[in-house]
């Protein structure tokens, strides 16, 4: 049930491309794609390629792709970034902060376009949003303030909850800002906050099991922990959980507050287009998202025996039933 019109694309699995390739043809530009967290790569990859097709780029004809994912193992990103550099791709597109940082460490020469990266100036990726300098530009859409806002919404959805647990992905540098913002949002909402750092993927379910021993509580999940797995574990352990991506809600999480992803991915394609036409990444201002949405999974609320207030239901941009 839609509450306000927004842009979104659903469906299909991401195309599976080989992880190695021969030296690219000199007359056909190659776009390297590096993503962290495989659970979020499908939507990005599909929308990004569709946007490029609309700009006239046809895979195998006037452009080639090298798509690499860490498959949820952040420690693989440096090697994957180095692999793209060795392939001499014309531009690297990154999704999520760890991928962008890995690409930046791997090269100061190949242009890098961020599809989603948290706080690019604070992370040392750009001198400023208006004049980034260097070889990184794109969309810095994962501002830590989104985390705080999502936490602030929890009491509106769950009036009985007075404690929130922030599940952070320890190897992800953005985890520091994630936790800081969760604390700020919790303080503003009058909630106490506990923090759990996840170092390895196999620790994730046990963290949810531990949280469930002290109800009532809500959970906010850092996206790079894996949206699909996190939503599944939250539902399994009957915990209301929120994130900043609607995919989390589509997979069974209770609520999300965040950007309209399709807009960001399409803007990334526009940045790539400009760079392939000769623009210098350091001269292209970094953009920030302007559209945000609240999505609530009503079916999950029923499973968890939660009574949602008419106010929060009216506020939602979309209800998943």
CB 116 within 8 A of CB 96: yes
- pLDDT the model gives residue 11: 34
Q: Tell me: pLDDT of 273 over 90.
A: yes
Write down all domains in the chain, each with its CATH number in brackets: 30-142+260-292 (3.40.50.2300), 145-259+293-320 (3.40.50.2300)
- pLDDT the model gives residue 143: 64
Helix axes 204-211, 227-236, angle to 10 degrees: 40
* pLDDT tens string 154-195: 998 898 899 999 999 998 878 888 999 999 999 999 999 999
Average pLDDT over residues 34-63: 88
- pLDDT the model gives residue 12: 33
Assign 3-class secondary structure to 99-129: HHHHHHHHCCCCCEEEEECCCCCCCCCCCCC
- pLDDT the model gives residue 40: 61
Q: Tell me: pLDDT of 142 over 80.
A: no
- pLDDT the model gives residue 14: 35
Burial degree of 210 (CB within 10 A; 0-12, 13-18, 19+): middle
Confidence of residue 8 (pLDDT cuts 50, 70, 90): very low
| pLDDT > 90 in the chain, percent | 66
pLDDT: which is higher, 249 or 38: 249
The tokens describing 304, both together, are 């968890």
Q: How far apart are CA 294 and CA 292, in angstroms?
A: 7
- pLDDT the model gives residue 97: 85
Nearest to 169 by CA among 152, 158, 182, 150: 182
Q: How far apart are CA 110 and CA 129, in angstroms?
A: 19
CB 260 within 8 A of CB 8: yes
CB 185 within 8 A of CB 155: no
Phi, psi of 63 (to 5 degrees): -160, 150
Q: Which residues contact 24 (CB under 8 A, 6 or more apart)?
A: 30, 64, 87, 88, 89, 90
- pLDDT the model gives residue 39: 57
CB 253 within 8 A of CB 297: yes
- pLDDT the model gives residue 7: 31
The tokens describing 294, both together, are 């609240």
* pLDDT tens string 73-103: 878 999 999 999 999 999 999 988 889 999 9
Q: How far apart are CA 316 and CA 294, in angstroms?
A: 5
Does this model's pTM top 0.85? My answer is no
Instruction: Supply the DSSP symbol for 76.
Output: G
- pLDDT the model gives residue 213: 86
Q: What is the DSSP string of 261-291?
A: HHHHHHHHHHHHHHHHTT--GGGSPPB----
Q: Tell me: pLDDT of 196 over 60.
A: yes
Nearest to 259 by CA among 273, 243, 272: 243
Average pLDDT over residues 52-57: 97
The tokens describing 50, both together, are 């569709």
Q: Tell me: pLDDT of 1 over 70.
A: no
* pLDDT tens string 145-155: 889 999 999 99
Q: Which helix (H) or strand (E) holds 13?
A: none
How high is the mean pLDDT of the chain?
88
CA triplet 112, 106, 141: central angle to 5 degrees? 40
Confidence of residue 256 (pLDDT cuts 50, 70, 90): very high
């Amino acid at each position: 049930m839609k509450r306000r019109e927004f842009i979104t694309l659903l469906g299909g699995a991401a195309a599976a491309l080989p992880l190695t390739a021969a030296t690219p043809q000199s007359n056909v530009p190659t776009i390297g794609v590096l993503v962290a967290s495989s659970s979020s790569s499908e939507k990005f990859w599909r929308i990004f390629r569709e946007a490029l097709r609309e700009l006239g780029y046809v895979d195998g004809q006037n452009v080639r792709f090298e798509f690499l994912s860490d498959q949820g193992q952040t420690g693989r990103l440096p090697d994957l970034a180095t692999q793209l550099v060795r392939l001499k791709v014309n531009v690297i597109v990154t999704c999520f902060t760890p991928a962008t940082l890995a690409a930046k460490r791997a090269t100061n020469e190949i242009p890098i376009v961020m599809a989603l990266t948290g706080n690019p100036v604070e992370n040392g990726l750009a001198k400023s949003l208006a004049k980034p300098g260097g070889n990184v530009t794109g969309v810095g859409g994962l501002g830590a303030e989104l985390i705080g806002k999502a936490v602030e919404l929890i009491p509106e959805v769950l009036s009985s909850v007075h404690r929130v647990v922030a599940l952070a992905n320890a190897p992800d540098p953005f985890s520091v800002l994630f936790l800081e913002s969760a604390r700020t949002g919790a303080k503003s909402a009058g909630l106490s906050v506990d923090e759990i750092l996840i170092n390895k993927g196999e620790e994730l379910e046990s963290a949810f099991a531990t949280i469930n021993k002290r109800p009532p509580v809500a959970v906010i999940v850092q996206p790079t922990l894996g949206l699909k797995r996190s939503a599944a574990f939250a539902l399994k352990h009957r915990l209301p959980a929120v994130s900043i991506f609607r995919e989390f809600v589509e997979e069974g999480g209770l609520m999300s507050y965040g950007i309209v992803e399709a807009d960001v991915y399409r803007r990334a394609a526009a940045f790539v287009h400009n760079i392939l036409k000769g623009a210098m990444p350091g001269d292209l201002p970094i953009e920030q998202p302007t559209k945000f949405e609240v999505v609530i999974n009503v079916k999950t609320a029923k499973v968890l025996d939660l009574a949602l207030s008419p106010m929060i239901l009216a506020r939602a941009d979309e209800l998943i039933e």
